[in-house]
Amino acid sequence: MGAAVDAGRDDAGTGTAGAGWAPPVPPADGAPAWSGTAGGTVPPAWTGPGVAEQGPPAWTPTVVWEVPGAPARPLGAPPPAQAGAAPAPRRRWWPVAALVAGVLTVGLGGGVAIGVLAADDQARVDALDAEVEGLQGEVTDLEREVADVRARAEEDVATARADAQAAVEAENGARQAALDARAAELDSREGELAAREDAVAVLEKQAEDGGFPGSGVRLVGAEVAPGTYRASSPEDCYWERRSGLSGDFDEIITNGIGAGDATVTIRASDVAFASERCGTWQRIG
């Protein structure tokens, strides 16, 4: 692209260059070229006849830009509109401004909303922390209460178990005492039965023999059966019916001596019968 200067008109208004000048060497690429009305390159000074008489030419240079393949245009002039091209639309700045304002408004509102939400969330977190602490305190109290109840229950169970064991032992002791008493009673009865059996044996022997020896102390019902007896040797015979076995005189129910008292009736209420030197007592009733 090069720059050229369009030659102005001369004083005579013809705009023709002098006939005596020769075209200069073309300028280098990019250097401004000077061109007159005849299309030639105008030198710095005019040469030829009549130059001195006419004076310097009155012309005004115009700098134009020459683009290969495009018409020349003065420097600063707008480029020519292309044929058939639509005019460029005007850019409207207010939608962009509105968009920026909306974005700023949304951003500020979002920041405020986020700040409010963050404050609400922090308050909610604090409330939840307080609630959790309260619940933990309640849980601790419940655990302590459960431990106390468990301890009391274990103590009650131990006491009830000890009482039950004591009751069982007492009942077993009572049963054992009753069993022992029953056993003692049975033993006593067994002894009584044995004594009776012995007495029966004696009585049977007496029944077979018809009497019992006439000297000694015999238990009534065990060694001698109640009934009426007569002594076989009545001369020196002494006998007595007794209510006890201590030997006291008060225990003598009745007694007899000699031939006139050789017959005696032994009763079932008597405890013992004693006799001496009576020979043999024979049962007669």
DSSP SS3 for 254? strand
Distance CA 73, CA 65 (A): 6
CA-wise closest residue to 206 among 270, 282, 285, 276? 282
CA-wise closest residue to 277 among 233, 241, 212? 233
CA-wise closest residue to 60 among 1, 120, 6, 8? 8
Mean pLDDT of 173-191: 91
Cα–chain center distance at 12: 119
Tokens of 163: 């009482």
- Predicted confidence at residue 11, as pLDDT, reads 45
Tokens of 115: 């700040």
Bridge partner residues of 272 (DSSP): 219, 242
Residue pLDDT, tens place only, 235-258:
889 999 999 888 788 899 999 888
Predicted TM-score (pTM) of the model is 0.34
- Predicted confidence at residue 7, as pLDDT, reads 43
Distance CA 274, CA 217 (A): 4
Mean pLDDT of 181-189: 91
Distance CA 79, CA 67 (A): 11
- Predicted confidence at residue 37, as pLDDT, reads 46
Bridge partner residues of 109 (DSSP): none
User: Which has more pLDDT, 89 or 182?
Assistant: 182
Contact 9, 61 (CB under 8 A): no
Point out the least confidently predicted range of 68-77, 132-141, 209-218, 263-272.
Answer: 68-77
Distance CA 180, CA 187 (A): 10
Residue 221 makes CB contacts below 8 A (sequence gap 6+) with 199, 268
Contact 226, 273 (CB under 8 A): no
> For the chain, what are the domain ranges?
1-76, 210-283
Mean pLDDT score across all residues of the chain: 75
The torsion angles phi and psi of 190, rounded to 5 degrees, stand at -60, -40
Mean pLDDT of 4-25: 46
Distance CA 211, CA 225 (A): 10
Strands (E) across the chain are located at 2-6, 33-35, 62-66, 73-74, 211-213, 216-219, 227-231, 238-242, 252-257, 263-266, 272-276, 280-283
Residue 156 makes CB contacts below 8 A (sequence gap 6+) with none
- Predicted confidence at residue 51, as pLDDT, reads 47
Distance CA 258, CA 237 (A): 6
Please name the residue ranges forming H helices in 14-93. Answer: 51-54
CA-wise closest residue to 221 among 206, 191, 199? 199
Residue pLDDT, tens place only, 49-95:
544 445 555 555 555 555 566 566 665 556 665 545 555 556 666 66
The most confident of 49-58, 114-123, 173-182, 200-209, by mean pLDDT: 173-182
DSSP SS3 for 60? coil
How would you classify the pairing of strands 62-66 and 73-74?
Answer: antiparallel
